[in-house]
Structure 1
Amino acid sequence: MSETQYYLFLFLSFLSPVLLILFFNNLSKPKSGSRRLPSPPALPLIGHLHLVGGFFHKSLQNLSTQYGSIFYLRLGFYESIVVSSAPVAHEIFKTQDIVFAQHPFPKLCFGDELPYAKCGFFNAPYGDYWRFMKKLCISQLLSPGQLERSRVVREEEFARFVRELLESAKKKEVVNLGAELIKLTNNTLCTMAMSTRCSEEGDKADRIREYLKTTYEIGSKIVLGDVLGPLSRVVLWLYGKQFTELHLGIDGLLEGILKEHEEHIGERENEDLMDILLKVFRDDKAEAKISRIHLKSFLYDIIVGGTGTLAEAIVWLMAELINHPNVFHKLREEIRSVVGSTRLVEESDVANLPYLQAVVKETLRLYPPFPVTTRQCRQSCQLAGFDMPQKTVVFINLYAIMRDPEVWDNPNEFWPERFLVSNKEHKQDRTGGETLLSFGAGRRACPGSRLGLIMMHTAVAAMVQCFDWKFRVDGHSGKVNMEAGKGVFMHLAQPLTCLPVVHFNPFASSI
């Protein structure tokens, strides 16, 4: 039984006269004005929940082929609008960006019991606090100057990553590439933000990896509880204790790192993000007052939000390269022609590697980290000619938009060359809106996209430059199964286990 079917069963098992009254009070009518939005036929109480499978983005994509680029959907008690085209998305992200500058906050039935219940950055309401924290993030952690100053951190982590792979290759050890990349991305982000390598060997590493794994596994199940409306307490019975313990564990880990910083505040030559946040926390005249919980929640969002999604994006790319050896060798030749055969590829080389950039763009087009993003309109407005009442929730299906056959030639094919074609030859440039939306767009776009791209380009280039990759599953080689796993972000259903074979050792001269 799938997760959706399980929740559907629970939902139907707890029917009551109260729910029937709600139903007959026109619960299933779309909240639109004089012009009615298209919508699939709904069932009593559950609405359209029966039309949604384990792969939410694909279910919405299939429905859009029948009901158009914008339609109404009710999942149990959760009413929404679904957008699946670039022009309508352009209205949301650009034309009416300020109107849709809010994420709908998940109505977790036990949210008040969580340490970071309403203090997060990514889902914070649009307002003074959110604007201040975004400015802090962009100016202190992700500004061009700060990214340049923190480049030494990334170079050290990438060198350590390559050395460990070289050691595995020497021992002929098969590696779980996803696990190694989570370790790389987590150590890099933690060192940049808190001067701490959270995925080193030992107890702290085990704890952070377990926290990340559990967060990704149960996060989507918790959010799915919204559809149960008054019966969402069922989610508390099933996952509340586990999710609360998870947050308390993460809070304890961050609190320990925070206390270490407080003991040595002002001693570091180069301040990290935690140092800067501590200064704001202690400043009574700061632009926005933040609490200790705000501080830890902000770091949690950055580290947890960036670690897994970035690692999985690189895994998708490597899987496609293994399945397309012609692309792999073309990319390696470009790296060799620019970098040479005496040193490891560096961040500064990426600007001169257009095919590498095309490969990354094509991967993010096919496998956006979050295939569906959300917005909520802050005031009544019109969208694509339909009236949108205030607080209307909108699902923007980035996956469908970036695989739209009206926009992209052979949309499901991995073909990086499409991004090397002249703009005049691209159909997507004639749609009237941006179509490569892997990180969203507008005010609520992912603020870490620049850093994510830097790390993705460099990691992939290093792995192609230094190794051949022999895919292994059950001890046998072959093509990678590109089936996606269930969840709110895109990840391979099966681990990418490979045998690295040394092609070039950039450290050979120093050994």
Structure 2
Amino acid sequence: MRSFMPGGEFHNASIIEFAMKMRERYGDVFILPGMFGRKDWVVTFNTKDIETIFRSEGIWPHREGLDSLIYFRTHVRPDVYGDSKGLIATQSSEWGKLRSAANPVFMQPRGLRMYYEPLSNINNEFIERIKEIRDPATLEVPENFYEELSRLIFESLALVAFDRQMGIVRKRRDNPDALTLFRTSREIFRLTFELDIQPSMWKYVSTPTYRKMMRALTESLDIAQKMLEETRVELEERRQRGDPINSQSMMERLMEIDPKVALIMGMDILFAGVDASATLLSALLLCLAKHPEKQVKLREELFKVMPTKDSLLNEETMKDMPYLRAVIKEALRYYPNGFGTMRSCPNDVNLSGYQIPKDTTVLLAANALMKDETYYHRADEFLPERWLRDPQTNKKIQVNPFTFLPFGFGPRMCIGKRVVDLEMETSLAKLIRNFHVEFNYDASKPYKSFFVMEPAIPFRFKFTDVKD
């Protein structure tokens, strides 16, 4: 405990910095002692151990939830949540039932088709916003540009979560309900790290952080309920008028399952997605700004499918963009977002020669291996080509699949993966088609990692218009 307090070795250290230091001292497997009501965790960097856990997790993988979020949904607002506490907070058959219902909505490509055009339009707005805020002389955006990226991501995710455009990129930047949801979703994401990952006494004492979390959760719930009801009423009015309605939207399909499920999934999309996706988009821009030759190569691919800067993207044009997808995949590897994932052992298991008893929580440090030279040749270089087929042999480089799991693995992998993919592909394609991106500052340590990565520097990108 002393090491986490002011003056201690790990005061203000990220979980990755702490775990990597433990790996240096104790090797690829060690125990992270629990405290204040949290159980001990086993941490492993061994790819065979990671595979063993995933292969033995069964059809209902158990992952320790975020206890503060579960407490709110179970004890503070059971009137709203009842038996439907969401994918983050449920386990066993309850989780399996909800995931089975949500999978066809989130995991099938056909469910995303309708979002290409509105996402293109949101990104066109963002491009106009960049032109408004960049310095006319230097063409650099202000120091708070990450806030603008976060607004773009929030706007895109809210389109999926609540079937509406909030307008906070340009049209309605002061939209009060949207701004409250924007603020609280980001706040909740940070507070979960302080309450559920770092040592915290909130389970015994009502700490200031705990009270802040309960307020943020209450605010976000109130706004989300209001928005969902407004959307439901609007859709009903359109039906009565005989106006066309796209019944394939994710929100409408979730409403058909259960309005409560639509509410919870909508909030979880924002809570889990805004900061993580904004950070990924900033990493993509940073990688391409610092590797201009890769940016040129990507733009050449984009010219073929986007003849004009304001070309709307659709399912057909997005099919043939292998380099775009390779860039995104390499950025996920180059800047691993977070440490890994957790699972609880359903049975006794042998990890690295140690007998690990049933129900032990295991932290699988797969993300920390993405910059390990043991698994990735030239690991410190940004090389999107590593994910493409060799032009001579038509073969891809073989990578240990258990060292590249940015969205997890198995039945409990991130349900929002396809949404994130679509969002990143659309935003990056639009930005690189419209601008040459530069970053003329030190980027040796651009991020700090707590629960996941957070910016450690201002992102004053320079955006120069591309000449057609």
Which residue of structure 1 aligns with residue 179 of structure 2? 206
Task: Tell me how far 1:255 sits from its aligned partner.
Answer: 1.3
**Contact 2:160–2:250 under 8 Å retained in 1:** yes
Code of the residue aligned with 2:226 in structure 1: it is G
Change in CA separation of 1:426 and 1:235 when aligned onto 2, cut-off 3 Å: farther
1:318 is displaced (CA, Å) by: 0.8
Aligned residue for 1:148?
A: 113
The residue aligned with 1:240 is 210
Matched residue count: 443
Contact 1:407 1:427 in 2 (8 A): no
Shift of 1:448: 1.3
Does the residue aligned with 2:455 lie in a helix, a strand or coil? coil
- Deviation of 1:247 after TM superposition, in Å, equals 0.7
The alpha-carbon distance between structure 1 residues 470 and 411, as it changes in their structure 2 partners (threshold 3 A), is closer
Report what 1:38 is aligned to.
none
Q: State the match for 2:77 in structure 1.
A: 115
Partner of 2:61: 101
- Aligned residue type for 2:63: H
Q: CA deviation at 1:191?
A: 1.7
Letter in 2 for 1:79: D
- The DSSP-based 3-state class of the residue aligned with 2:355 is strand
Query: Per-residue deviation at 1:343?
Result: 5.3
The CA RMSD measured in Å over matched residues stands at: 3.3
TM-score by length of 2: 0.83
Amino acid at match of 2:4: T
User: What is the one-letter code of the residue matched to 2:125?
Assistant: R
Amino acid at match of 2:445: M
Normalising by structure 1, we get a TM-score of 0.77
Q: What secondary structure does 2:33 align onto? A: strand
User: Does the 8 Å CA contact 1:141/1:193 hold for their aligned counterparts?
Assistant: no
Q: What is the CA-CA distance between 1:408 and the residue it aligns to? A: 0.8
Equivalent residue letter for 1:162: I
Cα distance, 1:281 vs. partner? 3.3
Task: Please say which of residues 235-244 and 447-456 is displaced more in the overlay.
Answer: 235-244
Q: Does 1:436 align with 2:399?
A: no
- AA aligned opposite 1:256: K
Alignment-derived partner of residue 456 in structure 1: 424
Q: In the alignment, which of 150, 154, 169 is matched to residue 182 of structure 1?
A: 150
Corresponding residue number in structure 2 for 1:335 = 302
Q: Do the aligned residues in 2 keep the contact of 1:103 with 1:124 (CA within 8 Å)?
A: no
Structure 1 residue identity aligned to 2:424: M
Counterpart check, 1:249 vs 2:222: no
Gap change, CA 1:4 and 1:390, over 3 Å in 2: same
Contact 1:103 1:125 in 2 (8 A): no
Letter of the 2:270 counterpart: I
- Report matched runs for 1:157-236 at 5 Å: 157-168=122-133, 174-175=141-142, 176-198=144-166, 199=168, 200-201=172-173, 202-224=175-197, 227=199, 231-233=201-203, 236=206
Cα shift readout 1:258-299 (whole Å, capped 9, x = no counterpart): 2224434543712344433443337xxxxxxxxx4x543222
Provide the residue aligned with 2:93 in structure 1. 128
Q: Does 1:389 align with 2:332?
A: no
1:368 to 2:345 alignment: no
One-letter amino acid matched to 1:260: E
Please say if residues 379 and 390 of structure 1, whose CA atoms lie closer than 8 Å, have aligned partners that are also in contact. yes
Partner of 1:78: 39
Q: Give 1:13's aligned residue.
A: none
The 3 A distance-change label for structure 1 pair 370 and 122 is: farther
The answer for the alignment partner of 2:15 in structure 1 is 56
Go from structure 1 to structure 2 and tell me whether the alpha carbon gap of 1:413 and 1:234 turns closer, same or farther (over 3 Å shift): farther
Write out aligned runs for 1:419-434 (5 A). 419-420=387-388, 422=390, 428-429=398-399, 431=400, 433-434=401-402
Separation of aligned partners in 2, 1:451 and 1:262:
22
Q: In terms of Rg, which structure is larger?
A: 1
Aligned to 1:44: none
Percent of aligned positions that are identical = 20
In 2: Cα distance, 1:178 partner to 1:427 partner: 34
Residues 70 and 296 from structure 1, CA distance in 2 versus in 1: closer, same or farther, beyond 3 angstroms?
Answer: same
AA aligned to 2:340 is V
Deviating more after overlay: 363-372 vs 338-347: 338-347
Q: What SS does structure 1 have at the residue aligned with 2:300? A: helix
**Conserved in 2, the CA contact under 8 Å of 1:83 and 1:396?**
yes
Per-residue Cα deviation, 1:367-408 (whole angstroms, up to 9, x for no partner): 233332111123333344432222110111132221222111
Output the CA distance in 2 between the equivalents of 1:445 and 1:389. 24
CA deviation digits over 1:188-217, x for unaligned, max 9?
221223222233422123212321332233
Offset of 1:3 from its aligned partner? 10
- With over 3 angstroms needed to count, the CA separation of the structure-2 counterparts of 1:469 and 1:427, relative to structure 1, is closer
